[in-house]
């Protein structure tokens, strides 16, 4: 009998995208909360799951998958009825979808990191400001393209939601929550509001909020972090 998948996550991180996908699927799954402040992500137990020490990681009855884009691709193929992504009918269509996933994980995510937490990668307040500014400029460039895409459609791929929308939602939540000025991107703001109306997204945010509350109670996370 197949066992339920287990997602390693931490609230507010990019693991939210995979968590949303699991909520959208609606099949039973488990989560394991990693406490970054305690260094859980560098502990041998977790490094045995993901040697890169990063969330998300998904343990399935077929093996362990790391990297959001790989997890999303796997879940979309394994649970086609959840319609996480359109079903590619040719190598070209598959390549286009992989390019879109990679755009979020490889182009946008590093810019999010520059804006949200440049401290571990710089040595002075000036360098930190420069890195944030550089991240904001890069993100603005990419969000302008997305803002244009959303001119004639509610979701990134058209009339139907896909996990790409949740990836965009995480980028928006994380960066605007860290002070990025998103005022020129009204369509992306509306897209985010639309996204948060989805029952699966609500469940995902509630799950993260409960995890965050638990961490705050244990003194293992700052109390001011928001979940939406
Ligand atoms: N390319 C990876 C990035 C994963 C990643 O950077 N996760 C962050 C949280 S958003 C993390 O676990 N950081 C901990 C660390 O790097 O030490 C993916 O798309 O899954």
Query: In this predicted model, what pLDDT tens digit does every residue of 199-213 receive, in sequence order?
Result: 999 999 999 999 999
Q: Write the CATH number of the domain with boundaries 91-195.
A: 1.20.1050.10
Q: Please compute the mean of the pLDDT values over residues 73-92 and round it to a whole number.
A: 98
Residue 26: the pLDDT is: 97
Q: How buried is residue 65: exposed, middle or buried, by Cβ count under 10 Å (0-12/13-18/19+)?
A: buried
Confidence of residue 221 (pLDDT cuts 50, 70, 90): confident
pTM for this entry: 0.96
In sequence order, the β-bridge partners of residue 30 are: 6
Q: Which atom of ligand 1 is the closest one to the Cα of 14?
A: 10
Q: Is the CB of 53 under 6 A from ligand 1?
A: yes
pLDDT at 196 over 80: yes
pLDDT at 1 over 70: no
Q: Is the CB of 18 under 6 A from ligand 1?
A: no
- Ranges of each domain in the chain: 6-83+199-217, 91-195
CB 11 within 8 A of CB 212: yes
Query: In this predicted model, what pLDDT tens digit does every residue of 24-73 receive, in sequence order?
Result: 999 999 999 999 999 999 999 999 999 999 999 999 999 999 999 999 99
Q: Would 6-83+199-217 and 91-195 be classified into the same CATH topology?
A: no
Q: Is the CB of 189 under 6 A from ligand 1?
A: no
Cβ-based neighbours of 65, under 8 Å, separated by 6 or more: 57, 58, 71, 74
6-83+199-217 fold: Glutaredoxin (3.40.30)
Q: Please compute the mean of the pLDDT values over residues 127-142 and round it to a whole number.
A: 95
Mutation probe of ligand 1 site: the residue of 55, 120, 208 with most atoms within 8 A of C-beta: 55
Cβ-based neighbours of 221, under 8 Å, separated by 6 or more: 11, 35, 37, 212, 215
């Amino acid at each position: 009998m197949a066992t339920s998948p287990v997602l390693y996550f931490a609230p507010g991180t990019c693991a939210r995208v995979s968590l949303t996908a699991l909520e959208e699927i609606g099949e039973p799954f488990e989560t394991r909360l990693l406490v970054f402040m305690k260094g859980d992500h560098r502990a041998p137990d977790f490094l045995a799951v993901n040697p890169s020490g990063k969330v998300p990681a998904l343990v399935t009855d077929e093996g362990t998958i790391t990297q959001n884009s790989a997890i999303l691709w796997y879940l979309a193929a394994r649970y086609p009825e959840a319609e996480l992504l359109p079903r590619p009918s040719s190598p070209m269509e598959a390549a286009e979808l992989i390019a879109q996933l990679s755009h979020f994980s490889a182009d946008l995510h590093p810019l999010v990191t520059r804006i949200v937490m440049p401290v571990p990668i710089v040595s002075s307040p000036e360098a930190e400001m420069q890195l944030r500014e550089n991240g904001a400029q890069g993100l603005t460039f990419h969000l302008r393209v997305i803002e244009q895409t959303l001119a004639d459609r509610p979701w990134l791929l058209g009339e139907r939601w896909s996990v790409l929308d949740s990836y965009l939602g995480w980028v928006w939540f994380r960066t605007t929550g860290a002070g990025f000025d998103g005022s020129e991107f009204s369509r992306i703001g509306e897209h985010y509001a639309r996204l948060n109306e989805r029952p699966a997204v609500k469940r995902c945010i509630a799950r993260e909020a409960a995890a965050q509350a638990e961490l705050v109670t244990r003194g293992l996370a700052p109390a001011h972090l928001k979940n939406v």
